[in-house]
Structure 1
Amino acid sequence: MALEDDMALLERVALFRAMDRDALRLLAFSSETRRLRAGDTLFRKDDISEYGFVVASGAITLIDDDVATAIVGPGTLIGEMALLSETRRPTTAIAREASVVLRVSRQMFRRTLEEYPATAARIADELRRRVQEMSADLAGVKERLRRIGADPDRREG
């Protein structure tokens, strides 16, 4: 894929949308294109993660304990947490069909944030907003559980 195509693909991802053009260009330039055949394994559950993957084409199935938990397609970032810190993969990812992914390294993502502090601040704001949304969603779930008598704070003695 051409650099402009890679940049356009990265811009489809909410996390990267906050980046300015130069930062996005650096990240796209340093990313690697991987082509997968149907059935190829992108990574396995519990692997140590060093990369995030943006699906450019095709479809990737995410599997946890032999159960498909999601099928993701173009514009999806797989392994966002891998860009932020070392972690283990929570699922196995297998190409459902011939697919192309853009591999983004944590090392380069961090370097980009260091070189573009305004971009880093915007990404921090985006992550903070998402954590707040998740907290509000969880509070709503807790309230619904409380209403049906399944209060998660209530302990049985």
Structure 2
Amino acid sequence: MALDEDMALLARQPLLSLMDRDALRLLAFAAESRILRAGDVLFRAGEPSDGAVLVVSGAVALTMQDDGKPASEIVGPGALIGELALFTSVPRQVTAIAREPTQVMRLPRSVMRRVLGESPDSAEAIAAAIGDRLRGFVGELSAVQEALSAIDRK
């Protein structure tokens, strides 16, 4: 895939779209493209993460357990799996298995850190967006806590 096409795919991601063009170019250049066959495992729940995976084509099943039950979710082109792993090491929350021939773009955390280190404006924009997300999440948790407290008072 051409570098401009890879950049366009990355720019469709809300968080990555905040990066300036040069930072996106570096990220796209360093991304690792992989072709998977149906049934290939990208990663398993509980494994340490080292970055995110962008689905370019095909479909990936995401499941919480490896028990043979149907997938919790099927994602297709444009899905970014493991976005948080771009910034911090967290255990994988799901097992990801290709459902059909699938192309993915692996985005290593080490590359993201290097790119953001060279692009302070991009790093600041992403940090602000993550801060907004966290504030929203805390607000949602507060609303849930209030609802639970109201139930307990009854």
Give the structure-1-normalised TM-score.
Answer: 0.89
**1:65-113 CA deviation, whole Å, 9 max, x = no partner?**
2352222122111111221122221111001222111101111100000
2:122 is aligned, of 115, 119, 123, to: 119
Distance 2:152 2:122 in 1: 43
User: Are 1:71 and 2:60 matched, yes or no?
Assistant: no
Distance 1:109 1:26 in 2: 9
1:136 is aligned, of 135, 139, 154, to: 139
Cα distance change on mapping 1:95 and 1:115 into 2, 3 Å: same
Distance 2:152 2:80 in 1: 34
C-alpha displacement of 1:144: 3.1
Query: Quick one: which amino acid aligns to residue 21 of structure 2?
Result: R
Distance 2:143 2:40 in 1: 39
User: Are 1:18 and 2:32 matched, yes or no?
Assistant: no
State the Cα RMSD in Å: 1.5
C-alpha displacement of 1:145: 3.0
Task: Give unmatched runs, 5+ long, in structure 2.
Answer: none
How many residues matched? 150
**1:7-64 CA deviation, whole Å, 9 max, x = no partner?**
0110111120110000000000000111111111111111111121011111111111
Q: Which residue of 2 aligns with 1:45?
A: 45
Q: Secondary structure at the match of 1:39?
A: coil
**1:114-135 CA deviation, whole Å, 9 max, x = no partner?**
0000100000011011111111
Query: Quick one: which amino acid aligns to residue 86 of structure 1?
Result: S
Q: How does 1:94-113 map to 2 (within 5 A)?
A: 94-113=97-116
Q: Which residue of 1 aligns with 2:62?
A: 62
Task: Give unmatched runs, 5+ long, in structure 1.
Answer: 152-157
Q: Which residue of 2 aligns with 1:154?
A: none
Q: Which segment drifts farther, 59-68 or 108-117?
A: 59-68
Give the structure-2-normalised TM-score.
Answer: 0.90
Q: Secondary structure at the match of 2:24?
A: helix
